[in-house]
């Protein structure tokens, strides 16, 4: 099962210079809750944007970088795959397992026809950004859960957690 886990602003923007354009601690906690214990699939830029390897998650990185392949060849927490075909093979071999796709835009776009669950944080603001979430046909998904949160002392922007499941 493939689950997308991401946050976006009102213009569907998800990144700036390889990082999140906002700081929203509640979303980071939500991300951790949704991904902990599951493999996380990402592109090289997303992987490089992480402050460190995330505990209790296998990092599956789509990149042709031989440097990264060599650096992590003996690290059981990181699997470097160099093509979409290799990612798809991995997904097929582990299809009973929940896998979380966390970015970037090209990885989201490449796997859009296979995603089962959308776990989106919609931030009620617009940020300077250079990366947008690829278009998703929400008619193919049913809204399962919606949790709205107002801004507070730690979270500067109002946000909503939305969970969708692909219709059968």
Is pLDDT above 90 for 21?
A: yes
Query: Per-residue pLDDT averaged across 86-109, rounded?
Result: 95
Query: Per-residue pLDDT averaged across 105-110, rounded?
Result: 96
Give one DSSP letter per residue of the chain, joined into a string: -EEEEEEE-TT-EEEBTTB-SS--HHHHHHHHHHHTTS-EEEEHHHHHHSSSPPTT--EEEE---HHHHHHTTT-TTEEEE-SHHHHHHHHHHTTTS-EEEEE-HHHHHHTTTT--EEEEEEESS----SEEPPP--GGGEEEEEEEEE---SS--S-EEEEEEEE--
pLDDT given at position 168: 87
pLDDT given at position 137: 97
46-87 pLDDT, tens digit per residue, is: 999 999 999 999 999 999 999 999 999 999 999 999 999 999
Report residue 95's pLDDT band, with 50, 70 and 90 as the boundaries. Answer: confident
Is pLDDT above 90 for 18?
A: no
Report residue 4's pLDDT band, with 50, 70 and 90 as the boundaries. Answer: very high
131-165 pLDDT, tens digit per residue, is: 999 999 999 999 999 999 999 999 999 999 999 99
pLDDT given at position 115: 97
Fold of 2-166: Dihydrofolate Reductase, subunit A (3.40.430)
Query: Per-residue pLDDT averaged across 123-131, rounded?
Result: 97
pLDDT given at position 116: 97
Task: Tell me what the pLDDT averaged over the chain comes to.
Answer: 96
Report residue 98's pLDDT band, with 50, 70 and 90 as the boundaries. Answer: very high
* Strands 40-43, 99-103: pairing kind: parallel
């Amino acid at each position: 099962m493939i689950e997308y886990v991401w946050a976006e602003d009102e213009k569907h923007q998800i990144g700036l210079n390889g990082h999140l354009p906002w700081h929203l601690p509640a979303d980071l906690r939500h991300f951790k809750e949704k991904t902990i214990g599951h493999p996380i699939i990402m592109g090289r830029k997303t992987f490089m944007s992480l402050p460190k390897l995330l505990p209790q998650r296998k990092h599956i990185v789509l990149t042709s970088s031989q440097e990264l392949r060599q650096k992590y060849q003996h690290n059981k927490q990181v699997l470097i795959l160099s093509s979409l075909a290799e990612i798809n093979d991995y997904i097929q071999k582990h299809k009973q397992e929940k896998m979380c796709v966390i970015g970037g835009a090209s990885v989201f776009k490449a796997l859009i026809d296979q995603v089962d669950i959308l776990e989106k944080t919609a931030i009620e603001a617009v940020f300077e950004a250079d990366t947008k979430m690829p278009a998703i046909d929400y008619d193919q998904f049913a809204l399962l859960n919606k949790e709205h949160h107002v801004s507070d002392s730690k979270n500067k922007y109002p946000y909503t957690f939305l969970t969708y499941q692909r219709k059968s």
